[in-house]
Amino acid sequence: MKSAILVTGGAGFIGSNFVLEWMDLETDAIVNLDKLTYAGNAQNLASLQSDARHLFVRGDIGDSALVDGLLMQHKPRAIINFAAESHVDRSIHGPGEFIQTNIVGTFNLLESVRAYYETLQPGDKDKFRFLHVSTDEVYGSLSPHDPPFTESNCYEPNSPYSASKAASDHLVRAYHHTYGLPVLTTNCSNNYGPCHFPEKLIPLVIHNALAGKPLPIYGDGQQVRDWLYVKDHCSAVRRVLADGNIGETYNIGGWNEKPNLEVVHAICGLLDELAQRDDGGSYMEQINFVKDRPGHDRRYAIDASKIERELGWRPAETFETGLRKTVEWYLANQQWVQDVTSGAYREWIDKHYVVKD
């Protein structure tokens, strides 16, 4: 490969969308490293099977020998770290995996990258970047009238997931200030869009609605999130990689604060229009309020002024346009949903991909 970047977690929801967009718009090849845990789906990358510019490697960011070998062999000019355990509910029931991947894994990755960076010639060092993708959840929770999170907000994580991501952010910062590693960090709001694993709110509601199942809403449904269409997130990451200032953090948001209940109502409205129930009723009849989860943050909101001011980025999609595209994608890709919910996507990996363990 003449010029390459290394993408970790590139078979997950956000990572695979990023890889597909990059391959359409950029010239660099991609070395795509993903552990293929439950949320990693190589089927998302099916269109790249015959593309020589995309090398998929099954492996863990914590596997130092593997990462060292990939770095020395392919000599990437940049690394984009999407790899993470990311589901809050799973972190509550089993925090160990989150500590191992998000903290220890990030540490091992940084150690490998630091050693690789020291081998680069001065000109290549000047061009190299390590971009760490994180979340707005590291900032904690906002009250209804608090201003949105800016990059200067204190970290106040409230779940094992957000605490592990906060720790990884701090490690990335420390490796810049201590070792001079040229890092960039992005903290994004709630993503939605194609290829979203159907345990998160929007794909779960679409799937359950079409299956005639209850649409579970935590508590009173008034938890507020800022919603960001995944392809907007990908374009922002590319923008930060291209022109972000070394050592800086950029918040990426959609300027779309919505209570969960309003989001569910919007999904039901689109499904009522695009996939009517056989009985003529509304999908809203399937809404079911359930006990709230422990430590559920009340509100997240991102102030994305810095990235717009400094890098000229702003989301292209409104919540309405992005949600319609998302619902239409799920309706058009029912086999993908079936493969994920049945577990068949794991068999697809062995049938269609040569992977390195």
Burial readout 172-189 (b: 16 or more C-beta within 10 A, e: otherwise): bbebbeeeebbbbbbbbb
- CA 325 to mean position of chain CA atoms: 18
54, β-bridge pairs: 30
Residue 109: how many other CB atoms lie within 10 Å: 27
- CA 124 to mean position of chain CA atoms: 28
Q: Which residue has the tokens 């490697």?
A: 57
Residue 322: how many other CB atoms lie within 10 Å: 24
Q: Is 137 a catalytic residue?
A: yes
C-alpha 203/C-alpha 74 separation (Å) is 36
Catalytic residue from among 34, 60, 63, 136 = 136
Nearest to 337 by CA among 190, 189, 205, 191: 205
Q: Where are the beta strands (DSSP E) in the chain?
A: 4-8, 29-34, 54-58, 78-81, 129-135, 183-188, 190-192, 215-218, 224-229, 249-252, 257-259, 287-290
Catalytic residue from among 116, 161, 300, 330 = 161
What are the residues whose beta carbons fall under 8 Å from the beta carbon of 289, sequence distance 6 or more? Answer: 216, 217, 218, 219, 220, 221
Annotated catalytic residues are 136-137, 161
